Structure 1
Amino acid sequence: MPAAATPTWDPAQYLRHADHRARPFNDLLARVPDLPGTPARIADLGCGPGNVTAVLAERWPTAHITGHDNSPEMLEQAKAYAGPTAGGGRLDFTFADAVAWAPTETYDLIVSNAALQWVEGHLDAFPAWLDALVPGGTLAFQVPNNIDAPLHALMRELGATARWKDRVGEVLRRTDSVHTPAVYLDKLAGLGCATDIWETTYLHVLQGQDPVLDWVKGTGLRPALTALADDPDARDAFVTEYRDLLRAAYPSAAYGTVLPFRRLFAVARKEA
Protein backbone atom coordinates (compact mmCIF):
# COMPACT_ATOMS: atom_id res chain seq x y z
CA MET A 1 0.00 0.00 0.00
CA PRO A 2 1.41 3.45 -0.83
CA ALA A 3 2.73 5.62 1.97
CA ALA A 4 0.04 8.19 1.23
CA ALA A 5 -2.57 5.67 2.38
CA THR A 6 -1.09 5.24 5.88
CA PRO A 7 -0.60 8.66 7.47
CA THR A 8 -0.67 9.26 11.19
CA TRP A 9 -3.98 10.90 12.04
CA ASP A 10 -4.76 13.62 14.57
CA PRO A 11 -8.42 13.31 15.67
CA ALA A 12 -8.45 16.70 17.37
CA GLN A 13 -7.22 18.42 14.22
CA TYR A 14 -9.69 16.51 12.05
CA LEU A 15 -12.61 17.45 14.28
CA ARG A 16 -11.82 21.18 14.16
CA HIS A 17 -14.07 21.36 11.08
CA ALA A 18 -16.47 18.61 12.14
CA ASP A 19 -19.66 20.37 11.06
CA HIS A 20 -18.43 20.98 7.52
CA ARG A 21 -17.06 17.45 7.22
CA ALA A 22 -20.26 15.84 8.52
CA ARG A 23 -22.60 17.58 6.11
CA PRO A 24 -21.74 15.40 3.07
CA PHE A 25 -22.33 12.27 5.15
CA ASN A 26 -25.80 13.47 6.07
CA ASP A 27 -26.45 14.27 2.40
CA LEU A 28 -25.34 10.75 1.49
CA LEU A 29 -27.59 9.10 4.08
CA ALA A 30 -30.55 11.09 2.84
CA ARG A 31 -30.40 9.08 -0.40
CA VAL A 32 -29.94 5.65 1.21
CA PRO A 33 -33.21 3.67 0.97
CA ASP A 34 -34.82 1.78 3.81
CA LEU A 35 -32.75 -1.21 4.86
CA PRO A 36 -34.17 -4.74 4.62
CA GLY A 37 -33.09 -6.05 8.01
CA THR A 38 -34.76 -5.41 11.36
CA PRO A 39 -32.56 -4.80 13.22
CA ALA A 40 -30.13 -3.77 10.50
CA ARG A 41 -26.45 -4.75 10.41
CA ILE A 42 -24.20 -1.88 9.29
CA ALA A 43 -20.47 -1.53 8.60
CA ASP A 44 -18.78 1.88 8.42
CA LEU A 45 -15.43 1.67 6.59
CA GLY A 46 -12.97 4.36 7.59
CA CYS A 47 -15.02 5.50 10.55
CA GLY A 48 -12.43 7.97 11.83
CA PRO A 49 -13.20 9.42 15.28
CA GLY A 50 -16.70 7.94 15.32
CA ASN A 51 -18.73 11.13 15.29
CA VAL A 52 -20.44 10.42 11.97
CA THR A 53 -20.74 6.70 12.73
CA ALA A 54 -22.94 7.72 15.63
CA VAL A 55 -25.23 9.49 13.14
CA LEU A 56 -26.07 6.07 11.69
CA ALA A 57 -27.65 5.13 15.02
CA GLU A 58 -29.96 8.13 14.73
CA ARG A 59 -31.22 6.94 11.33
CA TRP A 60 -31.36 3.23 12.29
CA PRO A 61 -31.75 3.24 16.10
CA THR A 62 -32.04 -0.54 16.51
CA ALA A 63 -29.08 -1.40 14.27
CA HIS A 64 -25.85 -3.11 15.20
CA ILE A 65 -23.22 -0.79 13.75
CA THR A 66 -19.48 -1.49 13.53
CA GLY A 67 -16.98 1.21 12.63
CA HIS A 68 -13.73 0.05 11.02
CA ASP A 69 -10.54 2.10 10.80
CA ASN A 70 -6.79 1.49 10.48
CA SER A 71 -5.80 4.43 12.69
CA PRO A 72 -5.25 3.61 16.38
CA GLU A 73 -5.56 7.32 17.15
CA MET A 74 -8.97 7.57 15.51
CA LEU A 75 -10.23 4.36 17.12
CA GLU A 76 -9.18 5.61 20.55
CA GLN A 77 -11.29 8.72 19.99
CA ALA A 78 -14.22 6.63 18.70
CA LYS A 79 -14.39 4.63 21.95
CA ALA A 80 -16.51 7.40 23.45
CA TYR A 81 -19.39 6.40 21.16
CA ALA A 82 -19.19 2.63 21.74
CA GLY A 83 -21.88 0.69 23.56
CA PRO A 84 -25.66 0.36 23.55
CA THR A 85 -27.52 3.05 21.63
CA ALA A 86 -30.60 4.95 22.78
CA GLY A 87 -32.83 3.04 20.37
CA GLY A 88 -31.76 -0.39 21.58
CA GLY A 89 -29.02 -1.00 19.03
CA ARG A 90 -25.28 -1.31 19.50
CA LEU A 91 -22.26 0.62 18.30
CA ASP A 92 -18.75 -0.82 18.30
CA PHE A 93 -15.42 -0.15 16.65
CA THR A 94 -12.61 -2.36 15.42
CA PHE A 95 -9.28 -2.13 13.64
CA ALA A 96 -9.45 -2.93 9.94
CA ASP A 97 -7.73 -1.69 6.80
CA ALA A 98 -10.39 -1.10 4.15
CA VAL A 99 -8.11 -2.26 1.32
CA ALA A 100 -7.87 -5.69 2.92
CA TRP A 101 -11.26 -5.84 4.67
CA ALA A 102 -12.98 -9.12 3.90
CA PRO A 103 -16.52 -9.29 5.35
CA THR A 104 -17.16 -12.37 7.47
CA GLU A 105 -20.88 -11.75 7.88
CA THR A 106 -23.72 -10.17 5.93
CA TYR A 107 -24.77 -6.54 6.11
CA ASP A 108 -27.78 -4.42 5.25
CA LEU A 109 -25.57 -1.39 4.66
CA ILE A 110 -21.86 -0.90 4.00
CA VAL A 111 -21.06 2.79 4.12
CA SER A 112 -17.88 4.84 3.82
CA ASN A 113 -17.42 8.55 4.43
CA ALA A 114 -14.40 10.30 2.86
CA ALA A 115 -12.12 7.27 3.15
CA LEU A 116 -11.93 5.37 -0.15
CA GLN A 117 -9.66 8.02 -1.69
CA TRP A 118 -6.95 6.54 0.56
CA VAL A 119 -7.67 2.95 -0.55
CA GLU A 120 -5.68 1.94 -3.61
CA GLY A 121 -7.67 -0.37 -5.87
CA HIS A 122 -10.96 0.17 -4.07
CA LEU A 123 -12.92 -0.60 -7.26
CA ASP A 124 -11.64 -4.17 -7.02
CA ALA A 125 -13.10 -4.50 -3.54
CA PHE A 126 -16.67 -3.75 -4.62
CA PRO A 127 -17.62 -7.31 -5.73
CA ALA A 128 -16.73 -8.82 -2.35
CA TRP A 129 -18.47 -6.02 -0.48
CA LEU A 130 -21.61 -6.42 -2.56
CA ASP A 131 -21.51 -10.18 -2.01
CA ALA A 132 -21.62 -9.44 1.72
CA LEU A 133 -24.84 -7.44 1.38
CA VAL A 134 -28.16 -9.13 2.00
CA PRO A 135 -30.66 -8.92 -0.89
CA GLY A 136 -31.89 -5.34 -1.02
CA GLY A 137 -28.85 -4.10 0.91
CA THR A 138 -26.92 -0.96 0.01
CA LEU A 139 -23.33 0.13 -0.56
CA ALA A 140 -23.03 3.90 -0.08
CA PHE A 141 -19.97 6.14 -0.04
CA GLN A 142 -18.77 9.66 -0.62
CA VAL A 143 -15.24 10.77 -1.49
CA PRO A 144 -13.58 14.13 -2.10
CA ASN A 145 -13.33 14.68 -5.84
CA ASN A 146 -11.19 17.79 -5.87
CA ILE A 147 -7.68 16.47 -6.43
CA ASP A 148 -7.29 19.10 -9.18
CA ALA A 149 -8.22 21.98 -6.84
CA PRO A 150 -5.51 24.43 -5.65
CA LEU A 151 -5.69 22.78 -2.23
CA HIS A 152 -4.05 19.64 -3.66
CA ALA A 153 -2.40 20.95 -6.82
CA LEU A 154 -0.26 23.41 -4.87
CA MET A 155 0.69 20.72 -2.38
CA ARG A 156 1.84 18.43 -5.19
CA GLU A 157 3.72 21.22 -6.96
CA LEU A 158 5.55 22.12 -3.77
CA GLY A 159 6.26 18.46 -3.05
CA ALA A 160 7.81 18.09 -6.51
CA THR A 161 10.34 20.90 -6.03
CA ALA A 162 14.03 20.08 -5.60
CA ARG A 163 13.93 20.76 -1.86
CA TRP A 164 11.02 18.45 -1.11
CA LYS A 165 10.64 15.80 -3.79
CA ASP A 166 12.80 13.23 -1.99
CA ARG A 167 10.97 13.78 1.30
CA VAL A 168 7.30 14.10 0.36
CA GLY A 169 7.01 13.83 -3.41
CA GLU A 170 5.98 10.16 -3.33
CA VAL A 171 3.63 10.16 -0.35
CA LEU A 172 0.95 12.63 -1.41
CA ARG A 173 -2.37 11.48 -2.84
CA ARG A 174 -2.15 10.70 -6.52
CA THR A 175 -4.37 12.31 -9.12
CA ASP A 176 -6.01 8.93 -9.83
CA SER A 177 -6.98 8.21 -6.21
CA VAL A 178 -10.63 8.91 -7.11
CA HIS A 179 -12.25 7.85 -10.38
CA THR A 180 -14.75 9.74 -12.50
CA PRO A 181 -18.45 9.40 -11.71
CA ALA A 182 -18.93 7.43 -14.94
CA VAL A 183 -16.36 4.84 -13.84
CA TYR A 184 -18.18 4.23 -10.55
CA LEU A 185 -21.53 4.06 -12.33
CA ASP A 186 -20.26 1.55 -14.87
CA LYS A 187 -18.64 -0.62 -12.19
CA LEU A 188 -21.57 -0.72 -9.77
CA ALA A 189 -24.31 -0.96 -12.39
CA GLY A 190 -22.31 -3.68 -14.11
CA LEU A 191 -22.38 -5.61 -10.84
CA GLY A 192 -26.18 -5.57 -10.95
CA CYS A 193 -26.94 -2.67 -8.62
CA ALA A 194 -29.51 0.07 -8.95
CA THR A 195 -27.02 2.91 -8.78
CA ASP A 196 -27.30 6.62 -8.04
CA ILE A 197 -24.16 8.75 -8.62
CA TRP A 198 -23.90 12.50 -8.17
CA GLU A 199 -21.51 15.30 -7.31
CA THR A 200 -21.90 18.37 -5.09
CA THR A 201 -19.57 21.34 -4.71
CA TYR A 202 -19.78 22.83 -1.23
CA LEU A 203 -18.68 26.41 -0.63
CA HIS A 204 -17.37 26.10 2.91
CA VAL A 205 -16.98 29.49 4.59
CA LEU A 206 -14.13 29.01 7.05
CA GLN A 207 -13.12 31.29 9.91
CA GLY A 208 -9.86 32.06 11.65
CA GLN A 209 -6.23 32.51 10.68
CA ASP A 210 -5.19 30.42 7.66
CA PRO A 211 -8.33 28.29 7.84
CA VAL A 212 -7.68 26.37 4.61
CA LEU A 213 -4.32 25.26 5.97
CA ASP A 214 -6.03 24.34 9.23
CA TRP A 215 -8.57 22.27 7.24
CA VAL A 216 -5.99 20.37 5.21
CA LYS A 217 -3.80 19.66 8.24
CA GLY A 218 -6.57 17.30 9.30
CA THR A 219 -6.76 15.41 5.98
CA GLY A 220 -4.77 15.82 2.78
CA LEU A 221 -1.60 17.16 4.40
CA ARG A 222 -1.32 14.23 6.82
CA PRO A 223 1.01 12.15 4.58
CA ALA A 224 3.49 15.02 4.33
CA LEU A 225 3.28 15.77 8.05
CA THR A 226 3.87 12.08 8.78
CA ALA A 227 6.83 11.88 6.38
CA LEU A 228 8.47 14.91 8.02
CA ALA A 229 7.56 14.06 11.62
CA ASP A 230 11.16 13.15 12.51
CA ASP A 231 12.42 16.57 11.32
CA PRO A 232 10.35 19.34 12.92
CA ASP A 233 12.34 22.13 11.27
CA ALA A 234 11.75 20.69 7.81
CA ARG A 235 8.08 20.02 8.62
CA ASP A 236 7.57 23.63 9.71
CA ALA A 237 9.39 24.95 6.64
CA PHE A 238 7.22 22.88 4.30
CA VAL A 239 4.03 23.98 6.06
CA THR A 240 5.10 27.64 5.91
CA GLU A 241 5.77 27.47 2.15
CA TYR A 242 2.46 25.71 1.59
CA ARG A 243 0.62 28.19 3.82
CA ASP A 244 1.86 31.11 1.72
CA LEU A 245 0.64 29.43 -1.47
CA LEU A 246 -2.78 28.80 0.08
CA ARG A 247 -3.10 32.40 1.23
CA ALA A 248 -2.78 33.54 -2.38
CA ALA A 249 -5.11 30.86 -3.75
CA TYR A 250 -7.83 31.30 -1.11
CA PRO A 251 -8.00 34.98 -0.15
CA SER A 252 -10.01 35.94 2.89
CA ALA A 253 -13.07 38.19 2.84
CA ALA A 254 -14.86 40.08 5.58
CA TYR A 255 -17.18 37.12 6.14
CA GLY A 256 -14.49 34.43 6.06
CA THR A 257 -12.44 32.35 3.62
CA VAL A 258 -14.29 30.35 0.97
CA LEU A 259 -13.11 26.80 0.32
CA PRO A 260 -14.90 25.27 -2.70
CA PHE A 261 -14.95 21.51 -2.18
CA ARG A 262 -16.35 19.01 -4.69
CA ARG A 263 -17.47 15.58 -3.49
CA LEU A 264 -18.65 12.48 -5.32
CA PHE A 265 -21.49 10.35 -3.94
CA ALA A 266 -22.59 6.81 -4.77
CA VAL A 267 -25.55 4.76 -3.55
CA ALA A 268 -25.75 1.24 -4.98
CA ARG A 269 -28.66 -1.00 -3.99
CA LYS A 270 -28.31 -4.73 -4.46
CA GLU A 271 -31.21 -6.48 -6.17
CA ALA A 272 -33.77 -7.70 -3.67
Structure 2
Amino acid sequence: MSHTWDPQRYLTYADERGRPFVELLARVRAEGPRTVVDLGCGPGNLTALLARRWPGVRITGLDSSAEMVEAATREVEGVRFERRDLREWLEAGGEPVDVLVSNATLQWVPGHLDLLPAMLARVAPGGWLALQVPGNVGEPSHTLRTELAAQAPYAEHTRGAAVPASHDPATYLDALARLGAEVDAWETTYLHVLTGEDPVFTWVSGTGARPTLQSLPDDLRPGFEDELRRRLREAYPPGPAGVVLPFRRVFVVAHKPGAVA
Protein backbone atom coordinates (compact mmCIF):
# COMPACT_ATOMS: atom_id res chain seq x y z
CA MET A 1 0.00 0.00 0.00
CA SER A 2 1.58 3.28 -1.09
CA HIS A 3 1.86 6.40 1.03
CA THR A 4 3.48 9.81 0.80
CA TRP A 5 5.55 11.84 3.23
CA ASP A 6 5.08 15.41 4.43
CA PRO A 7 8.46 17.14 4.86
CA GLN A 8 7.03 19.93 7.03
CA ARG A 9 5.28 17.55 9.42
CA TYR A 10 8.42 15.41 9.56
CA LEU A 11 10.51 18.47 10.50
CA THR A 12 8.23 19.42 13.42
CA TYR A 13 10.73 17.83 15.82
CA ALA A 14 13.79 18.28 13.62
CA ASP A 15 16.25 18.79 16.49
CA GLU A 16 15.12 15.68 18.34
CA ARG A 17 15.12 13.57 15.17
CA GLY A 18 18.51 14.95 14.14
CA ARG A 19 20.43 14.17 17.31
CA PRO A 20 20.87 10.44 16.55
CA PHE A 21 22.28 11.31 13.12
CA VAL A 22 24.91 13.55 14.70
CA GLU A 23 25.88 10.86 17.18
CA LEU A 24 26.03 8.24 14.44
CA LEU A 25 28.24 10.43 12.28
CA ALA A 26 30.62 11.08 15.18
CA ARG A 27 31.67 7.41 15.11
CA VAL A 28 32.52 7.46 11.40
CA ARG A 29 36.25 8.09 11.28
CA ALA A 30 36.55 8.75 7.55
CA GLU A 31 39.26 11.22 6.65
CA GLY A 32 39.07 12.85 3.24
CA PRO A 33 36.44 10.69 1.55
CA ARG A 34 35.76 11.38 -2.11
CA THR A 35 32.18 10.14 -2.31
CA VAL A 36 29.40 10.03 0.28
CA VAL A 37 25.87 8.69 -0.23
CA ASP A 38 22.90 9.21 2.09
CA LEU A 39 20.29 6.47 1.54
CA GLY A 40 16.89 7.76 2.61
CA CYS A 41 17.90 11.41 2.85
CA GLY A 42 14.41 12.72 3.62
CA PRO A 43 14.13 16.53 3.41
CA GLY A 44 17.93 16.85 3.30
CA ASN A 45 18.41 18.76 6.56
CA LEU A 46 20.71 16.05 7.89
CA THR A 47 22.42 15.40 4.56
CA ALA A 48 23.54 19.01 4.80
CA LEU A 49 25.58 18.03 7.86
CA LEU A 50 27.57 15.63 5.68
CA ALA A 51 28.46 18.53 3.40
CA ARG A 52 29.59 20.57 6.39
CA ARG A 53 31.81 17.81 7.70
CA TRP A 54 33.34 17.02 4.30
CA PRO A 55 33.22 20.23 2.25
CA GLY A 56 33.95 19.85 -1.43
CA VAL A 57 33.21 16.12 -1.39
CA ARG A 58 30.75 14.62 -3.88
CA ILE A 59 27.68 13.96 -1.76
CA THR A 60 24.46 12.39 -3.04
CA GLY A 61 21.16 12.07 -1.21
CA LEU A 62 18.67 9.42 -2.36
CA ASP A 63 15.04 9.04 -1.32
CA SER A 64 12.02 7.27 -2.78
CA SER A 65 9.69 10.13 -1.82
CA ALA A 66 9.18 12.80 -4.47
CA GLU A 67 8.02 15.23 -1.76
CA MET A 68 11.18 14.72 0.29
CA VAL A 69 13.52 15.05 -2.70
CA GLU A 70 11.76 18.21 -3.83
CA ALA A 71 12.14 19.76 -0.37
CA ALA A 72 15.79 18.72 -0.12
CA THR A 73 16.68 20.10 -3.54
CA ARG A 74 15.00 23.39 -2.70
CA GLU A 75 16.56 23.85 0.73
CA VAL A 76 20.07 22.34 0.55
CA GLU A 77 22.90 23.58 -1.64
CA GLY A 78 26.01 21.71 -2.70
CA VAL A 79 24.39 18.25 -2.58
CA ARG A 80 22.92 16.24 -5.41
CA PHE A 81 19.52 14.73 -4.63
CA GLU A 82 17.78 11.97 -6.58
CA ARG A 83 14.44 10.23 -6.27
CA ARG A 84 15.45 6.59 -6.15
CA ASP A 85 14.55 3.48 -4.20
CA LEU A 86 17.53 2.25 -2.19
CA ARG A 87 17.01 -1.35 -3.34
CA GLU A 88 17.16 -0.19 -6.93
CA TRP A 89 20.36 1.73 -6.20
CA LEU A 90 21.94 -1.31 -4.57
CA GLU A 91 20.98 -3.62 -7.43
CA ALA A 92 22.30 -1.20 -10.05
CA GLY A 93 25.83 -1.45 -8.71
CA GLY A 94 28.43 1.05 -9.80
CA GLU A 95 31.47 2.79 -8.38
CA PRO A 96 31.84 2.05 -4.65
CA VAL A 97 31.53 4.97 -2.24
CA ASP A 98 33.75 5.90 0.68
CA VAL A 99 30.94 6.59 3.15
CA LEU A 100 27.44 5.10 2.93
CA VAL A 101 24.91 6.41 5.45
CA SER A 102 21.35 5.26 6.10
CA ASN A 103 19.55 7.08 8.89
CA ALA A 104 16.04 6.10 10.07
CA THR A 105 15.23 4.47 6.72
CA LEU A 106 15.88 0.73 6.78
CA GLN A 107 13.03 0.14 9.26
CA TRP A 108 10.66 0.77 6.33
CA VAL A 109 12.33 -1.85 4.11
CA PRO A 110 10.98 -5.38 4.72
CA GLY A 111 13.78 -7.91 5.12
CA HIS A 112 16.41 -5.19 5.21
CA LEU A 113 18.84 -7.45 7.07
CA ASP A 114 19.26 -9.32 3.78
CA LEU A 115 20.40 -6.07 2.14
CA LEU A 116 23.47 -5.66 4.35
CA PRO A 117 25.78 -7.68 2.05
CA ALA A 118 24.80 -5.49 -0.91
CA MET A 119 25.21 -2.34 1.17
CA LEU A 120 28.69 -3.31 2.31
CA ALA A 121 29.55 -4.29 -1.26
CA ARG A 122 28.80 -0.71 -2.36
CA VAL A 123 31.41 0.57 0.12
CA ALA A 124 34.99 0.99 -1.11
CA PRO A 125 37.84 -0.84 0.64
CA GLY A 126 38.70 1.14 3.76
CA GLY A 127 35.31 2.86 3.64
CA TRP A 128 32.47 3.16 6.12
CA LEU A 129 28.85 2.02 6.40
CA ALA A 130 26.76 3.77 9.05
CA LEU A 131 23.12 3.11 9.84
CA GLN A 132 20.59 4.03 12.48
CA VAL A 133 17.08 2.61 12.94
CA PRO A 134 14.41 3.18 15.58
CA GLY A 135 14.15 0.30 18.02
CA ASN A 136 11.00 1.33 19.86
CA VAL A 137 8.28 -0.67 18.08
CA GLY A 138 7.28 -2.25 21.39
CA GLU A 139 6.42 1.11 22.95
CA PRO A 140 2.86 2.48 23.29
CA SER A 141 3.55 5.02 20.54
CA HIS A 142 3.48 2.03 18.18
CA THR A 143 1.45 -0.63 19.92
CA LEU A 144 -1.56 1.61 20.50
CA ARG A 145 -1.72 2.42 16.80
CA THR A 146 -1.42 -1.27 15.92
CA GLU A 147 -4.18 -2.28 18.34
CA LEU A 148 -6.57 0.42 17.13
CA ALA A 149 -5.86 -0.27 13.45
CA ALA A 150 -6.78 -3.93 13.96
CA GLN A 151 -10.27 -3.03 15.16
CA ALA A 152 -13.43 -2.50 13.11
CA PRO A 153 -14.17 -0.45 11.10
CA TYR A 154 -10.49 0.34 10.48
CA ALA A 155 -8.95 -3.10 9.95
CA GLU A 156 -10.21 -3.63 6.41
CA HIS A 157 -8.46 -0.41 5.33
CA THR A 158 -5.25 -0.53 7.39
CA ARG A 159 -4.40 -4.11 6.50
CA GLY A 160 -1.25 -3.90 4.38
CA ALA A 161 -0.22 -0.42 5.52
CA ALA A 162 3.53 -0.14 5.99
CA VAL A 163 4.81 -0.51 9.56
CA PRO A 164 8.41 -0.06 10.73
CA ALA A 165 10.52 -2.95 11.99
CA SER A 166 14.14 -3.33 13.09
CA HIS A 167 16.55 -5.62 14.92
CA ASP A 168 18.70 -5.46 18.04
CA PRO A 169 22.27 -4.10 17.76
CA ALA A 170 23.76 -7.58 18.22
CA THR A 171 21.91 -8.86 15.17
CA TYR A 172 23.37 -6.17 12.92
CA LEU A 173 26.82 -6.61 14.47
CA ASP A 174 26.79 -10.35 13.82
CA ALA A 175 25.58 -9.98 10.23
CA LEU A 176 28.22 -7.42 9.27
CA ALA A 177 31.04 -9.11 11.21
CA ARG A 178 30.34 -12.29 9.24
CA LEU A 179 30.98 -10.23 6.11
CA GLY A 180 34.42 -9.29 7.40
CA ALA A 181 33.69 -5.76 8.63
CA GLU A 182 34.90 -4.20 11.87
CA VAL A 183 31.64 -3.31 13.60
CA ASP A 184 30.67 -0.88 16.34
CA ALA A 185 27.03 -1.36 17.37
CA TRP A 186 25.12 0.19 20.25
CA GLU A 187 21.75 1.49 21.36
CA THR A 188 20.55 4.63 23.10
CA THR A 189 17.19 5.47 24.63
CA TYR A 190 16.47 9.18 24.35
CA LEU A 191 13.98 10.91 26.64
CA HIS A 192 12.42 13.50 24.37
CA VAL A 193 10.62 16.22 26.32
CA LEU A 194 7.73 17.39 24.14
CA THR A 195 5.36 20.31 24.51
CA GLY A 196 2.19 21.46 22.80
CA GLU A 197 -1.17 19.84 22.26
CA ASP A 198 -1.02 16.06 21.81
CA PRO A 199 2.73 16.15 21.06
CA VAL A 200 3.18 12.38 20.84
CA PHE A 201 0.45 12.18 18.22
CA THR A 202 2.15 15.01 16.32
CA TRP A 203 5.41 13.03 16.45
CA VAL A 204 4.02 9.69 15.27
CA SER A 205 1.70 11.18 12.66
CA GLY A 206 4.76 12.43 10.78
CA THR A 207 6.54 9.06 10.81
CA GLY A 208 5.45 5.68 12.13
CA ALA A 209 1.69 6.27 12.04
CA ARG A 210 1.56 8.12 8.73
CA PRO A 211 1.06 5.09 6.42
CA THR A 212 -1.76 3.85 8.66
CA LEU A 213 -3.47 7.25 8.70
CA GLN A 214 -3.18 7.60 4.94
CA SER A 215 -4.70 4.16 4.41
CA LEU A 216 -7.98 5.27 5.98
CA PRO A 217 -10.80 6.84 3.99
CA ASP A 218 -11.67 10.47 4.75
CA ASP A 219 -14.82 9.57 6.69
CA LEU A 220 -12.98 7.25 9.10
CA ARG A 221 -9.67 9.06 9.58
CA PRO A 222 -10.89 11.78 12.00
CA GLY A 223 -12.41 9.23 14.37
CA PHE A 224 -9.27 7.11 14.29
CA GLU A 225 -7.10 10.15 14.98
CA ASP A 226 -9.26 11.30 17.88
CA GLU A 227 -9.15 7.88 19.53
CA LEU A 228 -5.41 7.51 18.98
CA ARG A 229 -4.85 10.96 20.47
CA ARG A 230 -6.86 9.95 23.54
CA ARG A 231 -4.95 6.70 24.03
CA LEU A 232 -1.59 8.42 23.58
CA ARG A 233 -2.51 11.09 26.13
CA GLU A 234 -3.22 8.36 28.65
CA ALA A 235 0.02 6.53 27.88
CA TYR A 236 2.15 9.69 27.94
CA PRO A 237 0.74 12.05 30.59
CA PRO A 238 2.46 15.41 31.12
CA GLY A 239 4.97 15.68 33.96
CA PRO A 240 6.92 18.56 35.51
CA ALA A 241 9.12 18.87 32.41
CA GLY A 242 6.39 18.21 29.84
CA VAL A 243 5.42 15.06 27.98
CA VAL A 244 8.33 12.59 27.99
CA LEU A 245 8.63 10.27 24.99
CA PRO A 246 11.23 7.50 25.53
CA PHE A 247 12.71 6.58 22.17
CA ARG A 248 15.17 3.71 21.71
CA ARG A 249 17.44 3.83 18.67
CA VAL A 250 19.91 1.30 17.28
CA PHE A 251 23.23 2.38 15.77
CA VAL A 252 25.74 0.49 13.64
CA VAL A 253 29.03 1.67 12.16
CA ALA A 254 30.99 -0.81 10.03
CA HIS A 255 34.50 -0.25 8.69
CA LYS A 256 35.31 -2.24 5.58
CA PRO A 257 38.83 -3.71 5.57
CA GLY A 258 41.37 -2.65 2.99
CA ALA A 259 43.19 0.45 1.95
CA VAL A 260 41.26 3.34 0.44
CA ALA A 261 41.93 3.36 -3.31
TM-score class, shorter-chain normalisation, is: over 0.9
* Alignment partner, residue 257 of structure 1: 243
Q: Is 1:201 paired with 2:189?
A: yes
Q: Would you say 1:270 and 2:261 are equivalent positions?
A: no
Per the alignment, residue 4 of structure 2 pairs with: 8
| Aligned AA (2:97) | Y
Provide the C-alpha distance between the structure 2 equivalents of 1:83 and 1:56, rounded to a whole number of angstroms: 12
Listed as ranges, the matches of 1:108-119 within 5 Å are: 108-119=98-109
Supply the distance in 2 between the matched residues of 1:83 and 1:28 (Cα, whole angstroms): 22
Match for residue 211 of structure 1 among 199, 203, 207: 199
CA contact (8 A) 1:156 1:172 kept: no
Q: 1:169: Cα distance to partner?
A: 3.5
Structure 1, 60-69 or 203-212: larger mean CA deviation: 60-69
Report the counterpart of residue 88 of structure 1 in structure 2. none
Q: Which of residues 167, 170, 174 in structure 2 aligns to 1:186?
A: 174
Worse overlay, 194-203 or 218-227: 218-227
Name the structure 2 match of 1:17.
Answer: 13
Matches within 5 A, 1:62-81: 62-81=56-75
Tell me the distance in 2 between the aligned counterparts of 1:83 and 1:243: 38
Alignment pair present for 1:148 and 2:134: no
Counterpart in the other structure of 2:152: 162
1:171 corresponds in structure 2 to: 161
Q: Deviation per CA, 1:178-234, whole angstroms, max 9, x where unpaired?
A: 122221111000000000110000000001000000001110111112212xx3221
**Residues in 2 aligned to 1:95 and 1:30: alpha-carbon distance in whole angstroms:** 27
| Shift of residue 142, structure 1, vs aligned partner | 0.4
SS of the aligned residue for 1:253 comes to: coil
For the 8 Å contact 2:30–2:128, the answer to whether it is kept is no
Unaligned runs of 5+ in 1: 85-90
Q: Percent of aligned pairs with the same residue? A: 52
TM-score by length of 1: 0.90
* TM value normalised by structure 2: 0.94
| Secondary structure of the structure 2 residue equivalent to 1:101 | helix
Question: Structure 1: which amino acid aligns with 2:214?
Answer: T
SS of the residue 1:147 aligns to: coil
Q: Does 1:247 align with 2:241?
A: no
* Secondary structure class of the residue paired with 1:126: helix
Partner AA of 1:50 in structure 2? G
Q: 1:33-112, aligned counterparts within 5 Å?
A: 33-35=29-31, 38-84=32-78, 91-102=79-90, 103-112=93-102
2:33 matched to 1:29? no
CA–CA distance in 2 between the matches of 1:209 and 1:83? 34
Deviations 1:223-267 (A, max 9, x none): 112212xx3221111111111100000001243110000000000
Report the Cα distance in structure 2 between the residues aligned to 1:120 and 1:41, rounded to whole angstroms.
Answer: 27
The structure 1 segments of at least 4 consecutive aligned residues displaced by more than 6 Å after TM superposition are none
Displacement of 1:127 = 1.4
Give CA-to-partner distance per residue, 1:142-193, whole Å, 9 cap, x none. 000000000001110111112211111331416xx21222211110000000
Task: Report the secondary structure of 1:77's partner residue.
Answer: helix
Q: Distance in 1 between matches of 2:226 and 2:219?
A: 11
Separation in 1 of the partners of 2:98 and 2:162? 34
Give the conservation status (yes or no) of the 8 Å contact 1:99–1:120.
no
Corresponding residue for 1:139? Answer: 129
